[in-house]
Structure 1
Amino acid sequence: MLAVAGFLYWWELPHTRESFLAPGRRIDDFRGDYAFLSNFFPAPVIFEGVEYPTVEHAYQAAKTLDQEARKKLKAAATPELAKKLGGQLPIRPDWPQVKVQIMRELLRQKFQRHPELRELLRHTGDAELVEGNTWHDNFWGACRCARCNGVPGRNWLGRLLMEVRNEIAASPKS
């Protein structure tokens, strides 16, 4: 059971609410009822043998080959700080080629390691998952600010979450 300050407790999550299970909808805000979809959600994952408190921490650490920088990222007090620190790192040369696959593996692990999150993801059904944002990230999501209006987001985070959800749906309940 994940119970963390600032997030809902398991029994408070909307896993049985009708609106949560309604078919054919679009989820484009990974806060509130859908905070568990965010890379900032406190669900520890392991990257190259090291446990990180969130997918965001691990993803930022994966950007660099500098082991000291990775230690600082692991120790970052919040995923927001990890993201900020990650923006200041020397980036590994193959990053453009590997970043989507690394995110895919981190998301798979997040939902494999945390059964309650796996069930919540399963219960999003056939909803389109879109990492809606206002910080101009049209690679991982779809920015909805005035400046980006009409610019299609690639929505890699949403696409990968739906891919993991499909894998979960195809596997026996565990």
Structure 2
Amino acid sequence: MTHPPTIKPASEGDAAQIAGIYAHHVRNGTASFDTEPRSIEATIAKIAECDAHGWPFLVCADGDTILGYAYATQFRDRPAYGLACEDSIYVHPDHVGKGVGKLLLSALVDAAEAFGFRQMLAVIGGGEPASVALHASLGFEHVGRMRSVGRKFGRWLDSVYMQRALGAGDSQPPSKEPA
């Protein structure tokens, strides 16, 4: 890295690099159950969707180079889920294992809490051990496993669910109930 990495909100100008990172993981890993990479246009739309809702979509950058990205979206689209979010995090293959994921996920937890989410869930495709370890290092607890719910690269894949409270979690009601 030429500069200390910075965490900042994603912009449309980051979409090509974000799409490239995601494409690598779609083609080479089981963290995503997608089988076709997301286009640059679809990536721009995902950034815009997060912006429209006020949900965090962050990148970790070294100058103009995106090292990884993470975003949080409402866990499910029904109103009662309005205080729960799901995180997505992907790191450029050249920067896996170098602390980028922990930096990003830590910032995402803070940003999701600032938004007002009270619970964050990780749905870890393929039960990826590195992702499980990353989430555990930031206080996520294992809350479930769905066995053989995906199939990719000729094998059955589990999804591991991990969760952590944000802010007051469920210890007190929110100031405003989800609509």
- For the criterion TM > 0.5, the same-fold answer is no
TM-score (norm. length: structure 1): 0.32
Higher strand share: 2
Higher helix share: 1
